[in-house]
């Protein structure tokens, strides 16, 4: 245990490098430390913001004094799913990457100590997410409901510390075997991404529960409770524990500790097995010089951008998940049936006859919350010099990033528009309407996000997560996206097709001048990066 605490302090310094900010003599090192510190707080604040928006919306909209615990339960499920996916993609490299593990193994430290300190790094990252979501949701319950049971806050604080353990254990175990199985694959990053996306798709499919999606709108609390408990069974114990059931709380704690114990046991007892398997390299194939077909500068840059993107799992998970969610949502709508869905639209918005416009906006909004363009500039990293040295125009480089950013929403709009139009037998013009909205919104958002990415570009990152998940440009672009979605939704709801036309005009008026400015100043901006 005496050896463990110094290693844990080192892990904490990665999240809170206060000593480096205070004592570093090198300006660049001090700047990197400030960025890491800022990223930690920005991640926490983003979870606080998301929890506040959803919790207050639920508590003000459909939950009462008898069902208020469903608000923090939803945050628990969201944080747990996010934590499981993150751990699945990172567990192999964090726990057994030879590059960072070998220096520690050369010290007089036991393998168990080294593994436990690495596990703490994964645990603390998930703890930040769960603390931001659950504590904020608890505050919202206190504000709206008022008198809460005396055990509410002690139990909630305890569960904050326990809640990362189940996703850590489950995601970590799956992640170790995925990393082991893909270690010898030449495209192991792409395989890991595909597996993670499939895992996330399964979770989202279960959460939609298509068969009952629109059947019980009058009792939204009961419907939500059923879906939450089906998707994440420990949420039932969480809700019971918040209501004062000590047995449920003890069972939740027992399951959490068991999940962590299984991961620790596998990582420690199977250390040599996982270390050797995960650090294996792909077998080298014979080199063959094939014919190279000239595709032009723009297409070459697009291929390069796609290759980099699809070899960075965390980048895909954060930017393409919206398209997967939109397709699954559309499938759920198709299964639910046209009549009940249009009836709900008519009852809630008074716009059931304009389903194509409403769903086009919803599908586009779900896909465009966080596009590739925002982080694509920073993802060039220390290899930016290669782009500067290529004999291509700077605007072609920017256009390649815009096209790659628009590709997933274009595919999503095509699939979703075709599904809804054919399955619901909507007028044929609804298909180009949905596809056109997806393309226009994706283009406009990509332009704005690319401008923000250029403004807040950083190339000294050590891990892609620093710019994909926590970069300043990414967070600002998401804020801009939410503002546009909220304003555009209001226009369509209140003014129908005229509101949709106004939204399209507004997107063009905002994005077109930015795009023209980027084109005009592209050479200068690339030189100054």
More confident residue, 16 or 1: 16
More confident residue, 343 or 455: 455
Give the lowest-confidence range in 51-65, 103-117, 283-297, 319-333.
283-297
Query: Dmax of the chain from CA atoms?
Result: 74
**What's the pLDDT at 449?**
84
Angle at 95 between CA 92 and CA 99, to 5 degrees: 90
**What's the pLDDT at 513?**
93
**What's the pLDDT at 245?**
87
381: alpha, beta or left? (left if phi > 0; alpha if psi -120 to 50): left
> In the predicted model, what is the mean pLDDT of residues 144-171?
89
More confident residue, 6 or 253: 253
> In the predicted model, what is the mean pLDDT of residues 318-344?
77
Total residues belonging to the chain: 529
**What's the pLDDT at 286?**
41
Write 499-508 long-range contacts (CB < 8 A, 24+).
Answer: 500/357, 500/361, 500/437, 503/361, 504/437, 504/440, 507/440, 507/441, 507/444, 508/440, 508/444
Give the lowest-confidence range in 65-74, 160-169, 208-217, 400-409.
208-217
pLDDT at residue 2 greater than cutoff 50: yes
pLDDT at residue 29 greater than cutoff 70: yes
In eight-state DSSP terms, residue 81 is H
pLDDT at residue 204 greater than cutoff 60: no
Label residue 508 exposed, middle or buried (CB < 10 Å: 0-12, 13-18, 19+): middle
More confident residue, 182 or 186: 182
More confident residue, 357 or 351: 357
SS (H, E, C) 213-249: CCCCHHHHHHHHHHHHHHHCCHHHHHHHHHCCCHHHH
CA proximity to 470, closest of 114, 179, 47: 47
Intra-chain end-to-end CA distance of the chain, in Å: 47
Residue 215: which pLDDT band, with cuts at 50, 70 and 90? very low
Q: Which tens digit of pLDDT belongs to each residue from 397-415?
A: 999 999 998 998 899 889 9
**What's the pLDDT at 292?**
37
Angle at 456 between CA 469 and CA 303, to 5 degrees: 70
Give the lowest-confidence range in 33-37, 236-240, 416-420.
33-37
pLDDT at residue 461 greater than cutoff 80: no
Choose from 26-35, 231-240, 293-302, 481-490 the range with maximum mean pLDDT.
231-240
Q: CA dihedral in degrees (250, 251, 257, 262; nearest 10)?
A: 160
Tally of CB atoms within 10 A around 421: 20
Sign of CA dihedral 228, 234, 239, 242: negative
Q: What is the mean pLDDT of the chain?
A: 78
Distance CA 303, CA 294 (A): 12
pLDDT at residue 256 greater than cutoff 90: yes
> In the predicted model, what is the mean pLDDT of residues 256-281?
85
Choose from 50-59, 197-206, 360-369, 519-528 the range with maximum mean pLDDT.
519-528
In eight-state DSSP terms, residue 293 is P
Give the lowest-confidence range in 179-188, 446-455, 508-517.
179-188
Residue 217: which pLDDT band, with cuts at 50, 70 and 90? very low
**What's the pLDDT at 478?**
66
Q: Which helix (H) or strand (E) holds 153?
A: helix 152-162
**What's the pLDDT at 160?**
93
Domain boundaries, the chain: 297-529
pLDDT at residue 282 greater than cutoff 60: no
**What's the pLDDT at 283?**
44
**What's the pLDDT at 30?**
78
More confident residue, 197 or 158: 158
Choose from 295-309, 473-487, 503-517 the range with maximum mean pLDDT.
503-517
Give the lowest-confidence range in 81-90, 332-341, 363-372.
332-341
CB 72 within 8 Å of CB 242: yes
């Amino acid at each position: 245990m005496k050896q463990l605490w110094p290693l844990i302090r080192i892990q904490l310094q990665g999240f809170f490098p206060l000593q480096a900010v205070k004592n570093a003599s090198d300006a660049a090192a001090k700047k990197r430390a400030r960025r890491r510190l800022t990223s930690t707080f920005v991640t926490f604040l983003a979870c606080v913001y998301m929890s506040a928006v959803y919790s207050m919306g639920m508590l003000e909209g459909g939950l009462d004094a008898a069902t208020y615990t469903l608000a923090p339960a939803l945050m628990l499920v969201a944080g747990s799913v996010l934590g499981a996916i993150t751990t699945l993609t990172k567990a192999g490299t964090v726990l057994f990457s030879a590059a960072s593990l070998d220096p520690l193994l050369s010290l007089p430290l036991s393998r168990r100590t080294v593994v436990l300190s690495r596990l703490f790094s994964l645990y603390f990252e998930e703890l930040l997410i769960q603390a931001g979501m659950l504590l904020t949701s608890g505050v919202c319950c206190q504000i709206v409901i008022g008198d809460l049971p005396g055990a509410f806050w002690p139990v909630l604080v305890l569960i904050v510390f326990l809640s990362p353990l189940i996703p850590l254990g489950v995601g970590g175990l799956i992640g170790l075997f995925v990393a082991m199985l893909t270690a010898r694959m030449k495209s192991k990053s792409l395989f890991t991404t595909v597996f993670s996306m499939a895992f996330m798709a399964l979770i989202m499919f279960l959460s939609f529960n298509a068969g009952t999606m629109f059947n019980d709108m009058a009792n939204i609390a009961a419907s939500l409770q059923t879906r939450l408990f089906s998707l994440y069974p420990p949420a039932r114990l969480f809700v019971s524990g918040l209501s004062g059931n000590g047995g449920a709380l003890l069972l939740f704690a027992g399951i959490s500790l068991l999940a962590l114990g299984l991961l620790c046991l596998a990582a420690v007892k199977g250390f040599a097995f996982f270390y050797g398997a995960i650090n294996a390299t792909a077998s080298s194939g014979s080199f063959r010089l094939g014919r190279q077909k000239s595709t032009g500068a723009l297409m070459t840059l697009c291929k390069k951008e796609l290759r980099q993107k699809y070899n960075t799992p965390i980048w895909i998970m954060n930017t393409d998940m919206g398209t997967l969610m939109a397709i699954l949502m559309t499938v759920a709508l198709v299964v639910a049936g046209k009549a009940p869905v249009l009836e709900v639209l008519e009852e809630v918005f008074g716009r059931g006859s304009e389903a194509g416009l409403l769903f086009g906006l919803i599908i586009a909004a779900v896909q465009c919350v966080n596009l590739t363009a925002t982080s694509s500039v920073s993802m060039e990293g220390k290899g930016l010099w290669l782009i500067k040295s290529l004999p291509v125009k700077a605007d072609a480089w920017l256009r390649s990033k815009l096209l790659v950013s628009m590709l997933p929403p274009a595919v999503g709009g095509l699939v979703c528009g075709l599904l809804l139009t054919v399955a619901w037998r909507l007028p044929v013009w609804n298909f180009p309407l949905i596809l056109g909205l997806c393309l226009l919104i994706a283009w406009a958002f990509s332009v704005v996000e690319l401008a923000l990415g250029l403004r807040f570009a950083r190339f000294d990152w050590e891990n892609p997560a620093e710019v994909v998940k926590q970069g300043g440009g990414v967070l600002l672009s998401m804020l801009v996206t939410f503002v546009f979605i909220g304003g555009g939704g209001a226009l369509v709801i209140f003014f129908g097709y005229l509101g949709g036309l106004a939204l399209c005009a507004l997107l063009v008026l905002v994005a077109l001048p930015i795009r023209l400015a980027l084109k005009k100043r592209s050479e200068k901006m690339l030189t100054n990066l």
